[in-house]
Amino acid sequence: MSKRASPDYDAVIVGAGFSGIYLLHKLRNAGFNVLLVDAAAEPGGIWYWNCYPGARVDSQVPIYEYSIPEVWRSWTWSERFPGWKELRAYFQHVCNTLKLWPMMRMGARVTGANYEQEAQQWHLQLNGEETVTTRFLLPAIGFASKPHIPDFPGIEDFEGEWFHTARWPQQGVDLSGRKIALIGTGASGVQVAQEAAKSASKLTLFQRTPILALPMQQQKLTKEGQERDKQDYAAIFEARKQTRGGFESQSLDVSALEVDEKERKAHFEYLWQKGGLRFWYHNFSDLLINREANRYAYDFWRDKVRARISDPNLVELLAPSEPPHPFGTKRPSLEQCYYEIFAQDNVDLVDLKATPITRIKPHAIETAGGEVECDLIVYATGFDAGRGGMVDMNITGTNDLSVSQAWEDGLRAYLGMAIADFPNMLFAYGPLSPSGFSNGPTSAEIQGDWICDFLVWMRDNDSHQFEASATAEAGWTEMVAQAGAMTLFPEANSWYMGANIPGRKRQLINFPSVSGYVALCEDVANDGYRGFIIDKHTSNEQM
Ligand code: NA7
């Protein structure tokens, strides 16, 4: 006789960001008994935790929003690249419009999850106390839920305030008149720097690698303009699924080497003026696969940026003659006045390549070149991307295997959504899916639709347990590695390669094409969810 239990829920979703909220909407509409939990006090995911001054999205709206008509029809943005406050308000609007609140538990952190093989259910621990059971566990925690703070000697000795950008106090921090040390010049560091430079008595940026930042070309948006544009929204949302990055357009079909210099520069200039990440995703076809093509883009970027740097001592540091890495193999960030702040008397740059940090002292950062006094340290030092948040939930599958053990020798996953030995678990926006390479809401919807269809299929077939086969998982993991090897991405020490965390295996952690991903996932579904073992029947282990 089956010992299968009747759990509290059909599905528990972890995370109230774009992926989790979309999954909740879909599964509720499909008739599942579903609960969403999130450690944060409010929905918004990344936009809850990253509330540092200047935090805003690098994808423009309406690309960066849900395609759900009742949501977009009744919402108006104020800016093309909205800030965190507006994005949080948007999440309130989404939850109100879709009436999702009764199925949401905020302030509930998953502190443990065990799969009970006989009962075919997950046993979750919330906030270290309460337990709930569910047939399916659906982590949707994003790639950046675990901040990374480097292990600098003396870090605890600091007597001023210090914060990681993704753990910024919700009540805010007054930056005016402060002596601020900002470590890290990625997307977050650039955004903090632009704000902090306005009022800090001293802002010192500690740069290890220069960011290759692109002009945002921010714009205010009007209600009338958006109402007019909304007639195209349905087509835009449909089209974004068919592009490589999940944006409104993708790279040209033309190589940068096929055109003459005049034409090449004209296209670069067009992208520059359009702004946003277009210079990255709407560039020549071989930008990210051919060194020569990439070098043309880098040189154009370098010359544009150099024209904005007034201090000759900083030119080589901020926009070096030779690229620090191929353009676009680290995520370019968007800037509005980043290169101009260095002309201010209150802004300094420390080159950590020449003078690394040796110790954090009670009132200063000590480098090989001397001490920089400060009363606030901002760690804009990134994330244990794709891995850290999953590990921290203490998830244990069959054979007492934890996620941390499963990923000890590198990330592995089938379709970037399932791990062998972890039955009835699918994660969204996780490693080996397009996640970090793509526009968030596009990936959230693609995976949300796929997961919902799979669970409906399970229900229709009276099936209760699925698990990725080890063969399918190995095949997918290898395919992502091979796809990465055909690009220039492995040449950068980026979080895309897991290279920002000491000790992590170097591997491409994202699947490099949204449209390719859609096709593969559809194919798996059309083939009876090939690669999954359903109710212990291994019908087909091929990928
Ligand atoms: P990122 O892009 O990972 O940037 C982290 C920054 O911190 C980057 O400049 C790093 O330099 C720097 N860093 C990391 N460790 C150290 C140490 N030990 N010493 C000095 N500097 C260090 O994180 P963000 O939060 O800016 O952005 C994350 C993503 O969010 C972004 O890609 C978008 O998708 C949105 P490095 O370049 O490694 O030399």
Per-residue pLDDT tens digits for 315-366: 999 999 999 999 999 999 999 999 999 999 999 999 999 999 999 999 999 9
Task: Give strand pairing partners of 34.
Answer: 11
pLDDT mean over 186-205: 98
Distance 211 CA to ligand 1 centre (A): 9
| Cα 185 to ligand 1 centre (Å) | 6
Task: State in Å: Cα 337 to ligand 1 middle.
Answer: 19
- List the one residue out of 78, 26, 89, 61 whose CA is nearest residue 233: 61
- Residue 5's pLDDT is 85
Q: Return the beta strands (E) in 63-109 as ranges.
A: 104-106
Of all residues in the chain, the percent with pLDDT exceeding 90 is 97
386 Cα: distance to centroid of ligand 1 (angstroms): 15
Comparing C-alpha atoms, which of 488, 527, 445 is closest to residue 239? 445
Q: Which of 214, 381, 510 to mutate to test the pocket of ligand 1 (most atoms within 8 A of CB)?
A: 381
Q: Which residue has the tokens 């940090």?
A: 357
Give residue 82 CA to ligand 1 midpoint distance, Å. Answer: 22
HSE-CB at 302 with a 13 A cutoff on CA atoms is 20
381 lines ligand 1 (CB under 6 A): yes
Distance between first and last Cα of the chain: 32
Distances (CA, A) of 50 to 140, 166, 408, 444: 17, 4, 28, 19
Indicate which residue's Cα is closest to atom 10 of ligand 1.
184
| Encoded amino acid at 333, one letter | S
List the structure tokens of 119. Answer: 């009962």
Give the distance (Å) from ligand 1 centre to CA of residue 428: 23
221-252: per-residue pLDDT in tens?
999 999 999 999 999 999 999 999 999 999 99
Distance CA 255, CA 297 (A): 12
Distance CA 359, CA 366 (A): 5
> 500 in ligand 1 pocket by Cβ < 6 Å?
yes
Q: Is the pLDDT of residue 444 over 70?
A: yes
Minimum CA distance residue for ligand 1 atom 18: 150
Q: Is the pLDDT of residue 540 over 90?
A: no
C-alpha 17/C-alpha 279 separation (Å) is 27
Query: Ligand 1 centre and the CA of 469: distance in Å?
Result: 35
Rounded Cα gap, residues 406 and 514, in angstroms: 26
Average pLDDT score over residue span 263-272: 98
pLDDT of 268 strictly over 80: yes
CA of 308 to the centre of ligand 1 (A): 23
CA-152 nearest atom, ligand 1: 18
pLDDT digits (tens, 9 = 90+) for 151-183: 999 999 999 999 999 999 999 999 999 999 999
What's residue 3's pLDDT?
84
Nearest CA to ligand 1 atom 12: 184
Q: At what angle do helices 18-29 and 440-460 cross, to 10 degrees?
A: 30
469 with 538: CB under 8 angstroms? yes
Give the residue, out of 208, 384, 509, with the most ligand 1 atoms within 8 A of its beta carbon, to mutate for a pocket test.
Answer: 208
DSSP 56: B
Which of 350, 500, 506, 509 should be mutated for ligand 1, with most atoms under 8 A from CB? Answer: 500
* Cα 122 to ligand 1 centroid, rounded to whole Å: 35
Tens of pLDDT, residue by residue over 472-511, are 999 999 999 999 999 999 999 999 999 999 999 999 999 9
Mean pLDDT confidence for 299-320:
98
What is the structure's pLDDT at 280? 96
Contact between 182 and 53 under an 8 Å Cβ cutoff? The reply is no
pLDDT of 436 reads: 87
Yes or no: say if 509 and 434 are a contact pair by the CB < 8 Å rule: no
| Measured distance CA(543)–CA(529) in Å, rounded | 10
ipTM over 0.85: yes
Structure tokens at 125: 């621990």
d(CA 505, CA 516): 25
CA 382 to ligand 1: nearest atom = 23
- Average of per-residue pLDDT values in the chain: 96
Tens digit of pLDDT for each residue in 396-442?
A: 999 999 999 999 999 999 999 999 999 999 999 999 999 989 999 99
The string of DSSP codes covering 324-380 is SS-TTSS---EESSHHHHTTSTTEEEEETTTS-EEEEETTEEEETTEEEE-SEEEE-
For ligand 1, whether the C-beta of 435 sits within 6 Å is no
How does residue 189 score in pLDDT terms, banded at 50, 70 and 90? Answer: very high
pTM of the predicted model, to two decimals? 0.97
- Determine the pLDDT at residue 29: 98
Mean pLDDT of 123-145: 97
> H-helix or E-strand containing 20?
helix 18-29
Q: Is the pLDDT of residue 312 over 80?
A: yes
Assign 164 to helix, strand or coil: strand
Name every residue whose Cβ is closer than 8 Å to that of residue 246 and which is 6 or more positions away in sequence.
63, 240, 434, 438, 439, 441, 442, 443, 446, 514
CA distances from 129 to 110, 112, 402, 506 (A): 10, 10, 20, 36
Closest CA to 70 of 102, 96, 44, 42: 96
d(CA 195, CA 337): 10
pLDDT at residue 539 is higher than 50: no
Question: Tens digits of per-residue pLDDT, 375-389?
Answer: 999 999 999 999 999
* Rounded distance from Cα 187 to ligand 1 centre (Å): 8
The band of 537, judged by pLDDT with boundaries at 50, 70 and 90, is low
Among 404, 521, 331, 478, CA closest to 113: 404
Q: Is the CB of 380 under 6 A from ligand 1?
A: yes
Report how far residue 362's alpha carbon sits from residue 365's, in angstroms, rounded to the nearest whole number.
8
Instruction: For a ligand 1 pocket test, name from 188, 359, 366, 372 the mutation site with the most ligand atoms within 8 angstroms of its C-beta.
Output: 188
Identify which of 437, 493, 489, 490 has the alpha carbon closest to the alpha carbon of residue 208.
493
Ligand 1 contact, 184 CB (< 6 A): yes
Residue 541 pLDDT more than 70? no
Q: How confident is the model at residue 543 (pLDDT cuts 50, 70, 90)?
A: very low
Q: Compute the average pLDDT of residues 190-207.
A: 98
The alpha carbon of 442 and the centre of ligand 1 are apart by a number of angstroms equal to 24
What's the CA gap between 202 and 7, in Å, rounded?
56
Does ligand 1 lie within 6 Å of residue 531's CB atom? Answer: no
- Crossing angle of helices 18-29 and 84-97, rounded to 10°: 10
Using the mean position of ligand 1's atoms as its centre, give its distance from the Cα of residue 322 in Å.
20
- Ligand 1 pocket check for 183: Cβ under 6 Å: yes
Ligand 1, residue 209: give the atom nearest the CA. 39
Whether the ω angle into residue 169 lies within 30 degrees of 0, i.e. cis, is: no
| Cα–Cα distance list, 472 to 336, 476, 536 (Å) | 45, 6, 15
Residue 6 makes CB contacts below 8 A (sequence gap 6+) with: none
What confidence score (pLDDT) does residue 484 get? 94
What Rg, from alpha-carbon coordinates, does the chain have?
A: 23
Query: Is the confidence at residue 138, as pLDDT, over 50?
Result: yes
Q: Which atom of ligand 1 is nearest to the CA of 208?
A: 39
* Gap from CA of 430 to ligand 1 centroid (Å): 19
Structure confidence at residue 50 as a pLDDT band (50, 70, 90): very high
Q: Percentage of residues in the chain with pLDDT exceeding 70? A: 98
- How far is it, in rounded angstroms, from Cα 109 to Cα 389? 11
Q: Give residue for tokens 């936009």.
A: 47
